[in-house]
Amino acid sequence: MAIALHNEVVYFFGAVRFFTRLSVPAWVGHSPEALERSTRYLPAVGLIVGGSAALCFTLASRFWPVSLALLMSMALTLSMTGAFHEDGWSDMVDGFGAGGEKARILEVMKDSRLGTFGALALALMLVVKFFLLSGIPAPRLPAALLAGHAFSRLCVTLILRSMDYVRFEGKAKPLSTHIGDNELVFAALTAFLPLFFLPFRPAAIAVFFALAATCWLARAFKRHIGGYTGDCLGATQQLSEAAFYLGVSCAFS
């Protein structure tokens, strides 16, 4: 029991270390197996990031306008994650925007230089998320941030579960083993928990929109490259998060 608990703690901190810039205890080792097992904690990482954003917004809105508090909360999440998922979103759009054969798309996505499509997509994503969150009543914003970050990372696990990794190597390669039923159930329970802080209708619409965005991306990934890459996972998190906020804002409009 003690060994199993220790392993789960290692897997959790492995997810925190891989998907954020937060410090983890020095005794936490690193291995591809531990990273593979850590995928069940992706929504839990979302709870940390979203919870920090919610707390930042709550505190900042006591002293500054709501719009400024919202910008501060978004900046905090970018700092916490190192814009990890935003980078994946821009690289994916660059690759798919370039078009061509699978090899060409993968080559463009791997290029560290940011292209026109990617730069525009990144700017639009940040602007869209800001305005979508601005359309949610301020008292509901902390719950929306918490739930949006957690559920969007569940959407990433759905891609991991249902599709194949298409590169021979890469940062996301250790994550490419399909997630088991128990791991997926745990991730889903973690992601659905913060939804109870939202009224049923906004939560239900938000979940539908996020899943619809994930399905649309999955079809695009399958059609153009036959699976996913690490950049595709980042793109999934970003688009499903924005779609989640769209659902919440629509319900309150």
Tokens of 77: 């999440």
63 SS3 class:
coil
pTM, full prediction: 0.94
**Where along the chain do its domains lie?**
43-252
* pLDDT, tens only, 19-41: 999 988 877 766 667 777 788 99
User: 165 pairs with which residues across the strands?
Assistant: 228
Q: What is the pLDDT of residue 52?
A: 98
* pLDDT, tens only, 182-233: 889 999 999 999 999 999 999 999 999 999 999 999 999 999 999 999 999 9
Four-point Cα dihedral 81, 87, 89, 90, nearest 10 = 150
Task: Name the DSSP class of 198.
Answer: S
d(CA 115, CA 118): 5
